[in-house]
Structure 1
Amino acid sequence: MTAITRFDLNADLGESFGAYSVGNDEEVLRLVSSANVACGFHAGDPSVMMRTIEAAAQRGIRVGAHPGYRDLAGFGRRAIAYSYEELKADLIYQISAAWGMAQAVGVTLSYVKPHGALYNTMVRDRVQATAVIDAILAVDPGLKLMALAGAPVLEWARAEGLGTIAEAFADRAYLPDGTLAPRSQPGAVLYDPEAVAAQALSIVRSQSVGLFAGGSIEVSAQSLCVHGDNPEALANVAAIVALFAENGIAVGA
């Protein structure tokens, strides 16, 4: 296996709303290589979107759209039984907003990473996955879909000619089938920076991640995510960057 010396680290950002501040975006942006910018339906607003994209552009960071269900109250983490037509329209609306704002500050939107419940649902739900794929193709066929490594949605997207980015999570626990443990389950979210960094290094170097009940599963990814709304987000990212550096791995898209 070829030694990996460079790996993409992404974070969900731009999730503040009006007077409410979420995360530590400015500091996190100093350390990651890709920014998933909330598009206003689960979090964020136009001003926050613009500031986040501008800050990413100033640092030469790859920018992606982070659309979700129309669910501000639930932060986009509640399942919604959308029809194909309604979900596709909602996604075109959000992706177009991010695409336009990126153009306004002189950068190119690179990819789309759905958020929360939509992200988890599209893993195997063909109707919602198709709405995601078709919405991206309608806005810009050059965009890529970032989705869970090993998930069928990646195969479906590639079959439609859409580029993909397989993603793994440094701060989430995994189930034996390769999906993420539900947030309602104790231990589903990792808060200890050392544990987060260790999981990140295992995914990059060994293509494996440990499970709750022992053992591990294979995870072959092209990008690692750290959640910006995690209270330990900055510490987690800093720990990953430091451990990567110790092992000769640079952070880069």
Structure 2
Amino acid sequence: MSTRLCETASLELEVQSAVQQILTTMALNPSSNGHSAKKNACIFQNKITYTLYLLLQSFQGESLNTISKQCHYGSSVSFQGFDQIKQKLTEVIRQSQHDFAIKAANRRGTLTHITLKETADLVENTFNTECEMVMSALSIQQITSLINAFTKQEDIAQSLDLVFSRVIVNQDIDEGFQLSKQATYKLVEQISHSITGELCQLILTQHISQQHQEDFEQYLQTVRTLAEHFVSQSYLLNAPFLIDKTDFDNLE
């Protein structure tokens, strides 16, 4: 039992490390110790966490799809579409919101709830296509090591759900913020319709044909190339996510 707990804790730390690396690279960490800056950074932190989960689940789903296609006896393996993956993430979020640690923090009044409007305003005013490209590319870079870590688990799907629900809980406790249910669903919906959603769709169809696999690889290369260019030239583009996040408090 203790060994399994240690493995889970190790995976949680790997996911948290990946999230923090992306936050740092994109300059999405709080620019000050102010309440507003920390709140905005928490929204971005959740966005990155959900992005990593969706991508990992997509790669896991693609693996299951491939097995189902190649093995005549693979009837127990069901096709995983992106809608199913989004539903799994919704369940993970629901579980995290009902965790005893979150409930205790809410009773103590140590968590500040972030509203739907706060989340929508910040994300809509900050992220354009180039920003989404950068986040997707950085997430893909982190995915390789995370996949290697999770493939050592006996039940990968269950481990993903357990680890990410705990990561979400720990992030909320550590930061002192929690996205409201409506704000969370809005953020997941936004990610699903972004570059990340397109990547997940391509990942899930790799097994269908050689053409799909080539399309995915080409798209991935495009994302990486644009992201590298954008990061290297960001100081010339006055990228909105590199400015002081407290400026967004004044946006109408």
User: Do Structure 1 and Structure 2 share a fold, with TM-score over 0.5?
Assistant: no
* Higher percent of residues as helix: 2
* Higher percent of residues as strand: 1
Q: Which has the larger radius of gyration?
A: 2
Query: Normalising to structure 2: TM-score of the pair?
Result: 0.32
Query: Normalising to structure 1: TM-score of the pair?
Result: 0.32
Higher relative contact order (CA 8 A, sep 6+): 2
